[in-house]
Chain A
Amino acid sequence: MSYYDIDSILTDAEKIPCTFQLDVPELGYLDNQPGQTLKTGTKILLPLWIAEMLAIANTGDIDNKSFVDFDLPSALGNDVQQALKADPRAVPLRDQSAHFYALATHMMDLSDEPQLSATLRRTFVTRAAEISLHARKVGGGVGKGKGGASEEASNIGVGGAGEEFLRGLEEWERKLFRKAHDGSKAAKEWMETVKKH
């Protein structure tokens, strides 16, 4: 995670639900009540970077309270987790968050979620295998001439559902797709050059 890592910065901007643990004067405008005091127990969506600060920082109170309590964002909510458990490939992760895994790992750093970790791991590897399959097939123009009937057929088999799946990839998965695609593309290019000289 470098300082200039744009993905890391964008992940920090993801909003997560927080509950204030104390009254804050003059902050009511966050809850659409300008000029009022923000009450204890108000739920507000805060960007991850500030929520993290407020949750970790100590108010200096005797009972060791922090400023806010945070929950898992809706992208990592129970229904999404259940859907991922059912079939990782059917969930368009990008709709949940463009930086789904980055957000999830950040949240897991902040709170203990062994169940979430196992689900994500399974999701990631299952989808990775699928991504690699698409990466080989997409841009079929290269393999058209020599591939023959079988390759064409498998292209059609993947086609319709494939586009939908590829649209649902989030940033990590897009990177993965690019890597896998670069690999097979380079291999195909090499095969072409062998024949030429």
Chain B
Amino acid sequence: MALPLPPGLTQAEVAFVAEMELVTIVPRQRFESIHLLGGKTPALRPPHRAELPLWLALLLKKQRRANIVCPPWLYPASLATVIHRETKEDPAAFSPPPPTPSRAHLSAPGLARRVAEHDAGMSAPFVPSCTADAPAGYLPYHWLEVAEALLAHAGDDMPVAAGEIRSLLRDLVEVRAAKMRSSAATLEGLGGGLTLLRGVGSMELAESRGFVLEVVDGVRKIGASLEANRREVEEMRGEGGDDEGSDDDMGL
């Protein structure tokens, strides 16, 4: 109560965090590597691509020292695939996050394993998913923030007109917001209380966090007395039926 901030990150904070995502750039000038808190950046040699954090890439882009490579999932074809999956193939669920990178080892061809070359705990939000070799057809965790930033500042580096991509993004945002809304209705029946949020982006989470928390809390308050009754009955039964339960266990 003392702190007026709502739980979770605000939109501005989410957008700030998203600037740590690695993107691929094509430098136009030589640029020595610099030491940052997150480690050294690669030295930039003009024709070679390099991976930089989004904020640095945008800075270089604004100074016309680099071009940003559009991540594969931001191509119109990839976005159209995702929209198709969200609306036609599986209208109930959010499209899944990008798969963890996996690769078969030379000694065991055919058996793909997780790649653990960067760091150990790699899964959806932590895999570098906005670089040029990210898989197409999946939305990474920071999709909306990165897409907006790229469209606003590097619109001329996009494969097609920024307006076209933007309208596809708008469609996607609307479709997913509608799903988030209808997910509230799945709380209707007893036991139907779990809403699967797999594949939801961080900006969408920040947007609907307040609403979802409030709905779940309301449902909890409405069901509180019923739940208390149920517990009481269970406890009463537990006292009488303790022996039966253990008998069943013995039978197994």
Which residues of A come within 8 Å of B, CB atoms?
101, 104-105, 108-109, 112, 114, 117-118, 120-122, 124-126, 128-129, 132-133, 135-136, 172, 175-176, 179-180, 182-184, 186-187, 189-191, 193-195
Residues of B near A189 (CB, < 8 A) are: 11
Q: Do A194 and B149 have beta carbons less than 8 Å apart?
A: yes
* Cβ-closest chain B residue relative to A179: B210
CB nearest to A1 among chain B residues: B221
Q: Is B126 an interface residue (CB 8 A)?
A: no
A-B contact count (CB 8 A): 101
Residue on A with the closest CB to B192? A125
Could you write out 30 A-B pairs with CB less than 8 Å apart?
Answer: A108-B222, A112-B229, A117-B225, A120-B222, A121-B188, A121-B190, A121-B222, A124-B218, A125-B187, A125-B188, A125-B215, A128-B211, A128-B215, A129-B182, A132-B180, A132-B184, A172-B218, A176-B211, A176-B215, A176-B218, A179-B210, A179-B211, A180-B208, A180-B211, A183-B206, A183-B207, A184-B207, A187-B11, A193-B12, A194-B152
Residue contact B11 to A176, C-beta cutoff 8 Å: no
Query: Given A126-B188, A190-B11, are A101 and B207 also a contact pair (CB < 8 Å)?
Result: no
Known A121-B188, A125-B184, A176-B211; judge A105-B11 contact (CB<8 A): no
Complex CA–CA separation, A189 to B148 (angstroms):
13
CB atoms of B222 and A117 under 8 A apart: yes
Answer yes or no: B83 CB below 8 A from chain A CBs. no
CB-CB under 8 A for A187 and B185, given A105-B221, A109-B225, A176-B218: no
Bound state CA distance, A121 and B210, in angstroms? 19
Closest-CB distance, B151 to chain A (whole angstroms): 9
A175 to B54 CA separation, bound complex (whole angstroms): 37
